[in-house]
């Protein structure tokens, strides 16, 4: 069975269902919360994939983990996944759904990691430029500070990475020097 194919089909079905119900954004936000909880809480994961619990009990556990709230589209989707015994693929389906949501709504995630904090004006100009280059309506900026970079920056847009940090440049120089044969004097 092709896990990616299953995940994409279910993700498209959820996207179409949520969009037809006018709950696309809410469903995407809750799906992201669910993924985070699913990865963090072992008991939630075990309950969701348990063959012993009935579907209503599984949904009740999910509701409790999500603080009692669930969009109708997400709950219906989870019930469908449970009914078809596809629980073990949920960790692939929901990220695929979030990818579809971002694509349909023109959303790009940008992570800027620097050695020290940078001012808001610079980040605003950078995110505006990213929006123009990627033809996105919304650029979600995530900032990180990592002193190990020494200087420069590490810039990620979705799954593309530009590493212009001093630490990366030093690693490249070190690798090149390590490959040079020793010269006899």
Q: Render pLDDT for 31-59 as a digit per residue (tens, 0 to 9).
A: 999 999 999 999 999 999 999 999 999 99
Please spell the DSSP secondary structure of 126-145, one letter per residue.
Answer: HHHHHHHHHT-SEEEEEEEE
Distance (Å, whole) CA 33 – CA 39: 10
Helix (H) or strand (E) holding 94: helix 90-105
Q: Which domain holds residue 84?
A: 3-103
CATH number of the domain that residue 14 is part of: 1.10.520.20
66-123 per-position pLDDT tens digit? 888 899 999 999 999 999 999 999 999 999 999 999 999 999 999 999 999 999 999 9
In a domain, 185, yes or no: no
What's this model's pTM, rounded to 2 decimal places?
A: 0.80
Please spell the DSSP secondary structure of 18-38, one letter per residue.
Answer: HHHTT-HHHHHHHHHHHHHHH
Counted residue by residue, the chain has a size of: 185
In a domain, 26, yes or no: yes
């Amino acid at each position: 069975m092709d896990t990616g194919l299953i995940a994409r089909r279910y993700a498209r079905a959820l996207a179409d269902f949520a969009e037809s119900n006018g709950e696309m954004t809410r469903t995407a936000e809750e799906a992201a919360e669910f993924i985070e909880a699913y990865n963090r809480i072992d008991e939630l994961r075990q309950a969701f994939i348990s063959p012993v619990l009935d579907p209503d009990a599984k949904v009740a556990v999910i509701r409790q983990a999500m603080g009692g709230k669930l969009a109708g589209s997400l709950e219906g989707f989870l019930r469908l996944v449970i009914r078809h015994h596809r629980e073990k693929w949920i960790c692939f389906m929901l990220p695929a759904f979030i990818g579809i949501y971002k694509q349909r709504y023109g959303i790009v995630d940008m992570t800027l990691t620097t050695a020290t904090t940078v001012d808001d004006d610079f980040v605003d100009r950078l995110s505006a430029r990213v929006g123009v280059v990627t033809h996105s309506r919304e650029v979600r900026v995530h900032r990180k500070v990592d002193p190990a970079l020494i200087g420069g920056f590490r810039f990620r847009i979705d799954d593309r990475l530009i590493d212009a940090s001093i630490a990366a440049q030093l690693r490249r120089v070190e690798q090149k020097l390590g490959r040079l044969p020793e010269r006899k004097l």
